[in-house]
């Protein structure tokens, strides 16, 4: 059985639009309108399972979908530690070396929280147990999607900075007898 996994990055938030590290924000009206305009819900088959990050944003977004959602802790956003909710510019002024390391080194932690290497390992373990799951739609965060792509490509975590995931991007992965592969897709089916 082939597993098709459609990873959808969550809508923008006020923090993201202001250049802040994510905090546990809910879906605001602008994000809701962006999510509805993307028409992703209309593209998903009724047989798909909906799995979401435990974040408020993911839970609010899941309410727009006509299917029940299952919370998956492995889909949680990166733990940004002391940087959570702070402006990127502020962190850059106050902790330039730490921010520079985090932006360029996969094993550097974000404000004492997780490193990208940590996220990569967490997502890889989740993908390993997701085989033979049918069609799955996952609402999650950009770092999680980056990690999933790198896992599928068997690329090192150090490649994380080479992937940009804008809000409401759809990334398709498939698992078959040969393992996970990245399957270019603009919309889930």
Give residue-wise pLDDT tens across range 143-158: 999 999 999 999 999 9
Other Cβ atoms closer than 10 A to 95? 16
pLDDT of amino acid 131? 78
Give residue-wise pLDDT tens across range 48-92: 899 999 999 999 999 988 889 999 999 999 999 999 999 999 999
Please, what is the average pLDDT of the chain?
91
- At residue 189, does pLDDT exceed 50? no
Q: What domains can you pick out in the chain, each with its CATH number?
A: 3-183 (3.40.50.1240)
């Amino acid at each position: 059985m082939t597993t098709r996994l459609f990873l959808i990055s969550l809508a923008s938030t006020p923090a993201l639009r202001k250049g802040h590290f994510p905090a546990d924000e809910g879906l605001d009206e602008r994000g809701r309108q962006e999510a509805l305009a993307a028409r992703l819900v209309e593209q998903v088959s009724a047989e798909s399972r909906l799995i979401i990050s435990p974040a408020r944003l993911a839970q609010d977004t899941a309410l727009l979908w006509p299917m029940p959602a299952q919370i998956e802790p492995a889909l949680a956003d990166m733990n940004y530690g002391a940087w959570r909710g702070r402006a990127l510019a502020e962190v850059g002024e106050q902790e330039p070396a730490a921010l520079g390391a985090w932006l360029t080194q996969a094993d550097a932690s974000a404000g004492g929280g997780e490193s990208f290497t940590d996220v990569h390992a967490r997502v890889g373990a989740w993908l390993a147990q997701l085989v033979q799951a049918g069609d799955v739609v996952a609402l999650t965060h950009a770092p999680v999607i980056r990690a999933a792509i790198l896992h599928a490509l068997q690329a090192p975590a150090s490649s994380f900075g080479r992937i940009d995931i804008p809000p409401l991007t759809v990334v398709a992965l498939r698992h078959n007898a040969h393992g996970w592969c990245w399957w270019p897709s603009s919309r889930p089916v």
